[in-house]
Each structure stands twice: as structure tokens, then as C-alpha cells.
Structure 1
Amino acid sequence: MKRQLTVDDVEAAVLGGAILGGGGGGLIEEGLRVARLALAAGVPELWSVDEFDPQAITTTVAIVGAPAAPLPCVRPAHLLRTLALIREHAGGRPLVALNSNENGAETTVNGWFHAAITGIPVMDLACNGRAHPSSVMGALGLHTEADYVSVQAFAGGAQARYLEGVVSGRLELTSALVRRASVEAGGVVAVARNPVTVGYAAAHGAPGAISHAIEVGRAFLSGGVDGAAAALGGRIVADGIVAEYRCEQREGLDVGHLVFDDTARTELRFINEYMTLEQHGERQSAFPNLIMTFDDDGQPVVSARVRQGMRLRVLVAPGERLLLSRTMNMRELYQPLEASLGTAFAPLEPAA
């Protein structure tokens, strides 16, 4: 179904995206700013997957970096620059759609500004229906395609830190280079990457992800945290003061943990997104299940905005209620994350 995105979608998309971000996916205030700017600039359209020819080309638009970095700078001109660069290197085939890499406060509205300016519609699909920390996790499993050459365009940074460019090659290498560029640019870059057919994206990504974020956001706006929990089949598992919080930037990612003062000694560890939840020293939930924090006013709080002394509630929802990409079951993609946190949490191999 084709429809125009409107001001009534903004809060729902950003807040629903923030919840589905699971601690990552960008900052709420930035998501609201970009979405409102898009609607002031033009009329972005959201099309369902079945509105496109399966052989037509879509490209992923993303924001890569660490939300808590000290000098992030991605401007509207940077968004459009990445799109211009990727079109120059798309092999001569026109782009007919834009899709987000994931759901998050900023990432759910990825592509809205591009669409408002260029007229290219946003496809109701994300590479993953929740946020994730690595670019390869948001690349539709293309690293398993032996002949696929990744093309990634990036731009970002203020003044002397500004960087732009295009890299091509094996997916893991190009993703690592773009992540490094985000560090050099001050923490974050805009990216347009990995043109594929709509059919491939639909088969390996999360169709309906943007509408799902808007639905979750509307449930939250009407029913608060409990409304969001009901929409996701989740529950509140902790409520307390943050007694300890640590966050540091490592290779373009926010890595850290927080510990509550509750009797369960609840601990969350994150790499942008919340990866694990432990109580009484035992694992209770882990990525790709959704773990999300809310402040004393009931507003979603991403990991980069948590501070010691805050009172938070913790929502946990099962992965089965999310729109997940097949990459969420690829254990090899968890290995660098597990090394960063010093603990194993990858999903178990499916039974034979």
C-alpha cells in the first residue's frame, strides 16, 4: 500500500523505533528533528514491498557510529551526498526504493529526508526489525553471497573532520572501513550502501518493519510503557536506581554496562544495544530478544543517555514478537560482540 508519511507518523515512528532499538538505533531528539525536517522539505512516501518490481533496485540508508561519541555531526546535506555517491556507483541501474538498516529512534526514519527531496519512495522494510550493533548484521546476509561486491558511500563530520567517500569490496572489509570513518568524523557518518533487488531484500530482511515501529509507537503513546509491553508480548522485569554506569567508545561503538540498586542486582551490558540482562548473577535474557529502558516519566531511554542516579524500568520482549532478519541467527556475527563483552550470548544452533 502506498501512502504519504505525515506529521501524525513522526512521534509514533521515532518512539516506536526507539523502543525497538533496544538501547541503540540513535537518539530520540535527533530522530524527531530529521523526521520533522523531512516533512517540512517535501512529501516522503512509504510503499509496501509488493508495490515494487522484485527486480528493481533498492539501497540501504543508515547512520553508522556511536551515539555517545563527543563530536557527532550528520547534516541533511550529508544524507543527500551519500545517495548521490551510491547512485554513481550502482552499476547504471536506477534506484527505485530506499530502505532503512534497522528500527531505532533515528534509524526508523532513515530515508525520509532523502525521499522528501528526491521523490524516491521509502520501502516499508528494514534490514532488521530491531536495532543491532554491527553493519554486517544489517546487510541482509550478503556476506554469505560469494560473488557479491559491497559498495558503501559515507559522509559526515563537521568542518575539518568532514569525510566522504565510497568503498567497495568484501562486505566485512567495507563495513569495517566505514565504521573507522565514523570514528575519524567525530563519531557518526551517514551511509548509503549495498544496492540489491527488492526481491532479495524482501526475502532476507524485515518487510513491514517501519509500519511495525509506528504501531508500537502508537501503542506507547496511548498506553505508556504497559501499552508497548502489551504490543510486544513483553513484561517489566526491573525497576530501580542506576547505581553504576560505564560507557566508552570502542571502534565506533558504545560499549558498557549499568547496574541497578535493586535486590536482584540487575545488570545490563550493551554494545550500543542492550546485549544481556542478568539478575542475581544469572542470565535472564539476551540479544536478539528486546531489552529496553524507560525513565521515571515513562519515556524510552537509549543506552547512550543513561546516567548514574537515574530511576529506570526495564522491559524485556521475546525475539519471536519482533521482525528479525536471518542474520540474527548467524552465530559467527556474534563472535566480535562476545569478545567485546567477555561473555557468550549468541543464540543456540537450531535443532537438527
Structure 2
Amino acid sequence: MRELTPTDARNAVLGGGVLACGGGGWKHHGELMGSLATSLERPVLAGVDELPDDTWVATVTAIGAPAAKDWEIRPVDYVHALQELVKVAGVPIGAVMTAQNGYSTTVNGWIQSAVLGVTVLDTAGDVRAHPTGKLGGLGLGERPGYESVQVVSGGNRALHGHFLSVNRGNLNTVDDVLRDISVRTGGFIASARNPVELDWVRANGAHGSISLALDLGAAMDAARSDGPDAVVEAVRTRLHAEVVDAGRLRIGKRTRTVGGWDRGTFAVGEHTVPYLNEYMAVENAGGRVASYPDTIVIIDRSTGEGLAVKDAGRGGQDVVLLVARAGTLPVSSSSIDRAGLAECEQIMGIGFLEHLDPGLRPASASYAPATETAGTRSGSPRRRSR
């Protein structure tokens, strides 16, 4: 276990912004949430094997399209959503996990840990960011007899007031409902959902995902003084990625925000990158080069950071396109969920299932921190009572 510090918060945002694959929330929101959480208290991060076997885990995240113009999420919304889930779930929730890495989503759960005393699990529903709840749902949509319980809280107060909704049912159906709620309340809303046994998480999660983001951010920060090429090399090395192309970013199809998704296409050199909130594929004249759940990254060389879809503007940025193949990083059951991939096929009109590596298995790989960092402690940190 380790206590998370303000330095960890900064690294989480920097590394998470690469694993965001163009989506994954907003840099300024991640900086706010990470700074606030580590100022209030020291959130505690634990590996899946460091918690009691009878621990119940909930996923905490936000739902919507990062380019939505009227979104509003307040820090209290994340706390409120989890508090409401605890009331209605009927199980003792002792840990939380994020659905994915991202600029703000890597720090999902930190404010809940600081305020409510729950542990942040070093596991994600997906090592990279993705557009739908199914792709971060740990395969629970296909678990016989499982009833998904999902709470959303927040919304744009000026336009809609505060919105709270408790939803029960099949995970895939509830996910569709919450996507609609996010649209109706301004574009984004905080969520706490899917309480499940630790054993299920152990068998289906992408383990070490938060440590990966922290170490990646630290490596990027250390490389900054040596220039953008050093940052790109730090990303390539840490993610076991390959440089696919480089040059000026061009706009293929401009971003449209429809139904809770940002949709469009970028081009870099000889390659096109279609996105649905996140970069979902890489193609060239010869066909498909990379495909979700590969981690697809565009680095803006002027900032040395991951380029978000919402920040691309008219294009023209000097960028580098990298791909880390699925399986070289932690794999979850939801990142290879066939129902989730089929939904993306339907929305985007391009294939994913045909490109899925049949050898990928959930929890087949995990990431262990490269070094002990500030805030690391042996044993279990003392937690205050609530």
C-alpha cells in the first residue's frame, strides 16, 4: 500500500493524459481533483492482493463527452454518488477503482478515499480510456444473475439543477440510460456503480494500471528538460510502444458531439485515426494498423503531453503517433468485451471484432511499479474512522 501525494497527483494527470488516448476527461479537472484529494488527506492506493478477500469494490467514474460545451462536475458530486451507492447497494464497499486511465479519470476515487476513507484499488476497468461503460464494466454485463446498481449525481446546476438518479438492471441497459442522462444534464455527470466482490475484480481487472500512469508521468516529467523527443522516447519505452508516424495533425472529419460521444477523424502523415471520444483505430492505405484495445497515443511535441480530442482545434500541431499493442499492458475482461466492441462497430461503422487478438485474456498481465516513490509505505497505513 502507499499513500498518494501531491506529486503523485501531478504524475497521474501527466501519465493519465497519455493513456487517455485523446479522451479520459480534462487536464484541468484532473489537476483540481488530484490536488484537492491530496490536500484534504492522503488517499491510499492498494494492490488487488493487499486487501481482505471479503472486500467489496465499486467503480467510480464520470460519464459523457469531454468536448460537451455545458458540462459541470463538482468534487462533491463524486463523493455524493458513492455515498448514495453505499446506501442502496446492500454490501459493505471498502474499495473503489476507476473505469479507465485518463487526464482526470486516473484520479477517480482519490477524493472518495480522502473524504470517506475507502481504499483506491491499483486496478482499472481498462488500462486506457474508452468511450462506453461496457468497455470498463469488468464483463459484468455478461455475468449471469448480476444486477448492476449505478448512481449518478451532479449536472450543470444553472441549466438543470442538481440531478440524482439510482438505476438497477442489466449493466448494458443501465449504461445506455446513464449515457442519456449525461446528455440531458449538460454533457457529463459523476457516477458510482457496480459493487462487486474482490475475487471478480482479481479475475477481470487491468491490474497495476494506476501505478503505470504514475510511473509514466514521472518518467515524462523527468524527460521534459531534454526536449520533446526525450518525452516521446520516455512514453515509447515505458509503454513498450512503437512510433507509427509523425508530422502535422490534420483534421479529417471535424468533431461532432452527438449522443454523449465526440466523433471524428484525425490524420498524421500517411495514417488516419478515427475517434469516438478516444482514439479507436489507426489506418493507412494498406488497411488497419492498430485497433482498440491497443493503446493509441498522439503526443503534442510543443507541450510534451498527450493531445486530447477536444484540444485539437483546427489541427496543425506537430505530433507523434504511437501505438502500444494490447497485451503488452494490463488487460481487462471489459476491454475485450464483444458486446462493447460490437456497440462501437455500430456507432462508428468500422470493424473491431475482426481485428481482436483471440489470445488476449483478462488479468493475464499486470504492471508493477518500477521504483518505490515518495509516499510509499510498507504495511497498511492507518485510516481514520468515519
DSSP 3-state at the match of 2:251: strand
Residues 159-204 of structure 1 deviation map (CA, whole Å, 9 limit, x = unaligned): 2323211000111111111111110111101000000011211111
2:232 — aligned with what?
Answer: 225
1:69 — aligned with what?
Answer: 68
Instruction: Return the offset for 1:230.
Output: 0.7
How many angstroms apart in 1 are the aligned matches of 2:193 and 2:337? 21
Q: Any conservation in 1 of the 2:273–2:283 contact (CA below 8 Å)?
A: yes
Q: RMSD of the TM alignment (CA)?
A: 1.5
DSSP 3-state at the match of 1:350: coil
DSSP 3-state at the match of 1:105: coil
Instruction: Return the offset for 1:307.
Output: 2.0
How many angstroms apart in 2 are the aligned matches of 1:283 and 1:349? 13
2:281 — aligned with what?
Answer: 276
Supply the AA of the counterpart residue of 1:121. T
DSSP 3-state at the match of 1:50: coil
Instruction: Return the offset for 1:71.
Output: 0.7
Q: Any conservation in 1 of the 2:84–2:151 contact (CA below 8 Å)?
A: yes
Range with bigger deviation, 175-184 or 306-315: 306-315
Q: Any conservation in 1 of the 2:136–2:335 contact (CA below 8 Å)?
A: no
Supply the AA of the counterpart residue of 1:254. D
Q: TM-score with structure 1 length normalisation? A: 0.94
2:80 — aligned with what?
Answer: 81
2:138 — aligned with what?
Answer: 140
Residues 304-352 of structure 1 deviation map (CA, whole Å, 9 limit, x = unaligned): 211222222211111122112122223332112112222112334627x
How many angstroms apart in 2 are the aligned matches of 1:267 and 1:328? 22
Q: TM-score with structure 2 length normalisation? A: 0.86
Instruction: Return the offset for 1:273.
Output: 1.2
Supply the AA of the counterpart residue of 1:31. G
How many angstroms apart in 2 are the aligned matches of 1:321 and 1:242? 27
Structure 2 regions of 5+ residues with no counterpart?
A: 224-230, 360-386
Instruction: Return the offset for 1:277.
Output: 0.9
Residue correspondence of structure 1 range 185-204 to structure 2 within 5 A: 185-204=185-204
How many angstroms apart in 2 are the aligned matches of 1:311 and 1:79? 36
How many angstroms apart in 2 are the aligned matches of 1:341 and 1:13? 30
How many angstroms apart in 2 are the aligned matches of 1:349 and 1:229? 22
Instruction: Return the offset for 1:43.
Output: 1.8
Supply the AA of the counterpart residue of 1:296. R
2:127 to 129, 149, 155: 129
Residues 8-45 of structure 1 deviation map (CA, whole Å, 9 limit, x = unaligned): 21121111111112122111221111100111222211
Structure 1 regions of 5+ residues with no counterpart?
A: none
Instruction: Return the offset for 1:281.
Output: 5.4
Supply the AA of the counterpart residue of 1:78. D
Residue correspondence of structure 1 range 8-47 to structure 2 within 5 A: 8-47=7-46
1:293 — aligned with what?
Answer: 298
How many angstroms apart in 2 are the aligned matches of 1:152 and 1:212? 27
Does 2:265 align with 1:257? Answer: yes
Residues 257-291 of structure 1 deviation map (CA, whole Å, 9 limit, x = unaligned): 1124x3x2x21100111111122353211111111
Q: Any conservation in 2 of the 1:23–1:301 contact (CA below 8 Å)?
A: yes
The runs of at least 4 aligned residues of structure 1 exceeding 3 Å deviation read none
How many angstroms apart in 2 are the aligned matches of 1:62 and 1:270? 20
Instruction: Return the offset for 1:235.
Output: 2.1
DSSP 3-state at the match of 1:236: strand
Instruction: Return the offset for 1:144.
Output: 1.2
Residue correspondence of structure 1 range 46-61 to structure 2 within 5 A: 46-61=45-60
Q: Any conservation in 1 of the 2:61–2:105 contact (CA below 8 Å)?
A: yes
How many angstroms apart in 2 are the aligned matches of 1:130 and 1:77? 25
2:308 to 299, 302, 327: 302
2:365 — aligned with what?
Answer: none
Range with bigger deviation, 133-142 or 41-50: 41-50
Residues 117-150 of structure 1 deviation map (CA, whole Å, 9 limit, x = unaligned): 1111111111121111110111110111120000
Range with bigger deviation, 340-349 or 308-317: 340-349
Supply the AA of the counterpart residue of 1:144. E
DSSP 3-state at the match of 1:247: strand
Does 2:341 align with 1:334? Answer: yes
DSSP 3-state at the match of 2:341: helix
Range with bigger deviation, 276-285 or 11-20: 276-285
DSSP 3-state at the match of 1:51: coil
1:240 — aligned with what?
Answer: 247
Q: Any conservation in 1 of the 2:294–2:323 contact (CA below 8 Å)?
A: yes
Does 2:108 align with 1:110? Answer: yes
How many angstroms apart in 2 are the aligned matches of 1:97 and 1:236? 37
1:323 — aligned with what?
Answer: 330
Supply the AA of the counterpart residue of 1:126. A
Supply the AA of the counterpart residue of 1:108. T
Over 3 Å counting, the alpha-carbon distance change for 1:104 and 1:42 in structure 2 is: same
Task: State the number of aligned residues.
Answer: 346
Q: Any conservation in 2 of the 1:60–1:100 contact (CA below 8 Å)?
A: yes
Instruction: Return the offset for 1:65.
Output: 0.6
Range with bigger deviation, 274-283 or 144-153: 274-283
2:364 — aligned with what?
Answer: none
Q: Any conservation in 2 of the 1:136–1:143 contact (CA below 8 Å)?
A: yes
DSSP 3-state at the match of 1:151: strand
